[in-house]
Amino acid sequence: MPTSTSYTEENIRSLDWKEHIRMRPGMYIGKLGDGSASDDGIYILLKEIIDNSVDEFVMGAGKTIEITLKDNIIKVRDYGRGIPLGKVVDVVSRMNTGGKYDTRAFKKSVGLNGVGTKAVNALSTSFSVESVRDGKSKIVSFELGEIIDSPPIEESTKRKGTAIIFQPDSSIFKNYKFRNEYIVKMIKYYVYLNPGLSIIFNGEKFKSENGLKDLIEDNNNIDDFLYPVIHLKGNDIEIAITHNKKHYSEEYYSFVNGQNTSQGGTHLNSFKEAIVKTIRDFFKKNYDSSDIKKSIISAISIKVMEPVFESQTKTKLGSTEMGGGLPTVRSYILEFISKNLDNYLHKNKDVAEGIQRKIIQAERERKELSGIRKLARERAKKSSLHNKKLRDCRVHLGDMSNERRLDTTIFITEGDSASGSITKSRDVNTQAVFSLRGKPLNSYSMTKKIVYENEEFNLLQAALNIEEGIEKLRYNKIVIATDADVDGMHIRLLIITFFLQFFPELIKEGHLFILQTPLFRVRNKKETIYCYSDVEKSEACDKLGAKVEITRFKGLGEISPNEFKNFIGDSIRLDPVIINKETSVDDLLSFYMGKNTPDRQNFIIDNLKVDIDSA
């Protein structure tokens, strides 16, 4: 018989706004994280504040936003109209309060529910807001959402606008660290979507004159473009399109009202449909959609009245209507692209001919690979069932609208011992394990055919579900978990080479990470400290005293499953694999993975000398 539990008035509890946000932060900002991924909570907090400042620019108030970050304290200062002084407290601490409910003032705004700034306030150790307007200012300070200081309105000579300073709460965001690369990427998206807006981050200025055209060119090597970026703009829509001469994958950027919709939605689906239809109609040939889209690099931005997103983090558009008397999102995009892209291709015959040659080449390659792909799928299905290379997690990953997908991780391991330790200590609901057998092949300069013929690559591709592109990627984080020795580093490099060669968008979109595991265990009878460097080991020895036991972990297999729980749970340390704008993928792979052995030897020797001299 089940044990009965009392259920009376005493069991009923009402939470105030800040208590609910702190108890259920995922409802408001998605996932938490430690800052190693671009969609971790600390960046969502920053985005919520910047959104408000950008909305001021969109309304014609303030062309500059200043952002500073130091010691995990962030300040965002805009020069918009400023929050009405009598409502400053309500706007940042009273739910369902804000100016964006009035669609006359914020017709096509990003934030419509009045939650964002309150979530930042509640999830911050310290939070302060200052509004300046009409020669007066109002300052309010909070700690964990509680007002600690609210002096009266004062006269002020400062420029009008709003300044918000906050520090994320380390008890909510464990061991967090801001990574400037992710903040810069966020800022660039804002300026691409808002030509004329200047954002200054720690003294560096970001501005765009050409919108999505700049986005495409800044994130790719222009020399690899099959033709110059096609850049088309309408009243509520902007698109940019080109094809890559070298890479196989499709690459899309999508935005709604200035918000990066990383999970796409109705607008992105309609965009792809419109491109395929227009190309088919232009050439009067029923080309396969995959051949048309192969190697495409494109971006779309639309503006929608009161958009409906599928979550508070606004990463996927659910709206089907444009609003304001306009047709549906799908029909609006289809009509715009059918007319304007068709006109462009008629006026630019060389571009049209280049696209057609690309489609014919993709068609030929697809047919050549069809037999190999069929055999590879059968082999992957058989191997995954009988060899159990993949220990999957329980989340239903086929449903891409499932919010739990954002929590999923797959560890790529080497050897049975490391795979076994991680498998036994993982969270079976959200963490999967893929076990490699031996060292992967160096895939540099090889064709896509090798992915299907090589068993390890074929099975890895099948496990990730990326054969047709990364839209149906089954895991949000792909974590390379290899030993921190020479062999482990080599395997790590070979895996990264595979992704750079065939699926660079996985890295561009922030899905690839390196697992950091401890090198040392320092302990006495009372306490155990795991150390990730010699510096941490020295600090641990100083803390625990002279009589300590020091263990040097040579490989992941030496770490017991019970210990591993400490390193792949809440305290996981991940290093993201990031491609800088200045980095040419082809040059990078050619130097490190090509046949120029003497050049690499000299590079290692020169850098080794530098390390010795500085030691």
Please count the other Cβ atoms lying within 10 Å of the Cβ belonging to residue 589.
18
Rounded Cα gap, residues 578 and 215, in angstroms = 17
Q: Are 123 and 172 in contact (CB under 8 A)?
A: yes
- pLDDT exceeds 90 at position 482: no
- Which tens digits make up the pLDDT trace of 108-142? 555 544 568 888 998 999 999 999 999 999 999 99
Looking at the structure, do residues 357 and 218 belong to the same domain, yes or no? yes
Q: How far apart are CA 30 and CA 428, in angstroms?
A: 20
H-helix or E-strand spanning residue 138: strand 136-143
In contact, 46 and 124? CB cutoff 8 Å: no
Report whether 65 contacts 50 (CB < 8 A). yes
Q: What is the CATH number for 350?
A: 3.30.230.10
Structural domain total, the chain: 5
CB 363 within 8 A of CB 291: yes
Residue with tokens 């010795």: 612
pLDDT at 42: 93
Residue 2 lies in a domain: no
pLDDT at 368 over 70: yes
pLDDT averaged over the chain? 83
Classify residue 381: in a domain, yes or no. Answer: no
Per the model's pLDDT, the better-predicted residue between 411 and 115 turns out to be 411
Q: By three-state DSSP, how is residue 387 classified?
A: coil
Is residue 11 assigned to a domain? no
Would you give the distance in Å from CA 76 to the centre of its chain? 22
Residue 371 lies in a domain: no
Tokens 């770490």 identify what position?
A: 559
Express as a percent the part of the chain with pLDDT over 90. 36
Q: pLDDT higher for 517 or 298?
A: 298
- The domain boundary, picked from 534, 552, 570, lies at 552
The per-residue pLDDT for 79 is: 94
pLDDT, tens digit, for every residue of 487-532? 888 888 889 989 888 888 888 888 999 988 888 889 998 888 888 8
Task: 279-286: list long-range contacts, CB under 8 Å, 24+ apart.
Answer: 279/355, 279/359, 281/338, 281/342, 282/342, 282/345, 282/346, 282/352, 283/352, 283/356, 283/359
415 and 532 fall within a common domain = no
The reply to whether 445 falls in a domain is yes
The answer on pLDDT for 612 being more than 60 is: no
Q: What is the pLDDT of residue 162?
A: 94
| DSSP annotation string for 499-526 | HHHH-HHHHHTT-EEEEE--SEEEE-SS
Is residue 219 a part of any domain in this protein?
yes
Place of tokens 């995922």: 26
Task: List % helix, strand, coil for the chain (3-state, nearest 5).
Answer: 40, 20, 40
Query: Same structural domain for residues 283 and 327?
Result: yes
Helix (H) or strand (E) holding 299: strand 296-302
How would you classify the pairing of strands 409-414 and 477-481?
A: parallel
CA separation for the pair 459, 28 (Å, rounded): 37
Whether residue 76 sits in one domain with residue 126 = yes
pLDDT of residue 440: 84
Name 587's Cβ contacts closer than 8 Å, sequence gap at least 6: none
Res. 237 pLDDT band, cuts 50 70 90: very high
Do 181 and 35 share a structural domain? yes
**CA within 13 Å, CB half, 494:** 19
Q: What average pLDDT does this structure show over 271-298? A: 94
Same structural domain, 93 and 134: yes
Q: Residue 399: pLDDT above 50?
A: no
Angle formed by the axes of helices 266-283 and 349-386, to 10°?
120
Is there a single domain that holds both residue 319 and residue 198? no
- Which CATH number covers residue 148? 3.30.565.10
Range in 235-244, 552-561, 606-615 the model is least confident about: 606-615
If asked whether residues 432 and 569 sit together in one domain, one would say: yes
What pLDDT, on the 0 to 100 scale, is given for residue 97? 52
DSSP label at residue 110: S
State whether 398 and 311 are in the same domain.
no
pLDDT for residue 611: 44
Residue 302 counted as domain residue: yes
Which one-letter DSSP state was computed for residue 126?
A: E
**Cα 398 to Cα 181, 459, 473, distances in angstroms:** 31, 18, 9
Which residues constitute the domain of residue 344? Answer: 212-365
Q: What is the pLDDT of residues 307-333, one digit of tens each?
A: 776 765 567 777 677 666 677 888 999
| Chain centre to alpha carbon of residue 7 | 43
Residues 405 and 342 in one domain: no
Is 90 exceeded by the pLDDT of residue 347?
A: yes
Q: How far is CA 390 from the centre of its chain?
A: 24
Confidence check: pLDDT of 592 > 70? no
Q: In which band, very low, low, confident or very high, does the pLDDT at 400 lie, cut at 50, 70 and 90?
A: very low
Clarify whether residues 175 and 27 are in a common domain: yes
- Of 171, 206, 241, which residue is a domain's last? 206
Considering the domain boundaries, does residue 376 fall inside one? no
Lowest mean pLDDT among 58-62, 68-72, 396-400: 396-400
Give percent of the chain with pLDDT exceeding 70.
83
Q: Are 481 and 572 in contact (CB under 8 A)?
A: no
**Length of the chain (residues):** 615
Average pLDDT over residues 459-472: 83
- pLDDT computed for residue 68 by the predictor: 97
For position 67, what pLDDT does the model report?
A: 97
How far apart, in whole angstroms, are the C-alpha atoms of residue 128 and residue 163? 8
CB 94 within 8 A of CB 118: yes
Please check whether residues 223 and 321 belong to one and the same domain: yes
Decide which of 185, 206, 227 is a domain's last residue.
Answer: 206
